């Protein structure tokens, strides 16, 4: 169980895409050429994928949306309307 002060970082979707593509490339290309490097990359990209899933399910979405879109109130315009 996670402690109270722990909050997962909101990660972009490209992080998960990188994890998936890296895992596939490692499994199909690197692992047959070098078992040690292939296994290492498979473990690395699996950990990246798990981090992306944890971030996707537990990260505070509202705070991310507000920071990402920079939601601010628009001040009313003081210009006069032309007639």
pLDDT, residue 64, reads 54
DSSP 8-state secondary structure symbol assigned to residue 8: -
Other C-beta atoms closer than 10 Å to the C-beta of 63 total 11
CA distance 70 to 61: 14
Query: 44 Cβ partners below 8 Å, 6+ apart?
Result: 22
List, for residues 15-66, the tens digit of each pLDDT value. Answer: 999 999 999 999 999 999 999 999 999 999 999 999 999 988 876 666 555 5
Q: Are 25 and 51 in contact (CB under 8 A)?
A: no
pTM of the complete model beyond 0.75: no
- Top pLDDT among 2 and 6 is at 6
Kindly state the tokens that stand for 1.
């169980």
């Amino acid at each position: 169980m996670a402690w109270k002060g722990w909050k997962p970082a909101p990660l972009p979707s490209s992080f998960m895409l990188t994890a998936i593509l890296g895992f596939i490339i490692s499994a199909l290309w690197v692992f047959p050429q070098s078992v040690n490097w292939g296994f290492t990359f498979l473990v690395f990209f699996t950990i990246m994928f798990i981090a992306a899933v944890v971030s996707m399910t537990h990260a505070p979405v509202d705070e991310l949306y507000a920071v990402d879109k920079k939601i601010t109130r628009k001040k009313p315009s003081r210009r006069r309307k032309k007639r």
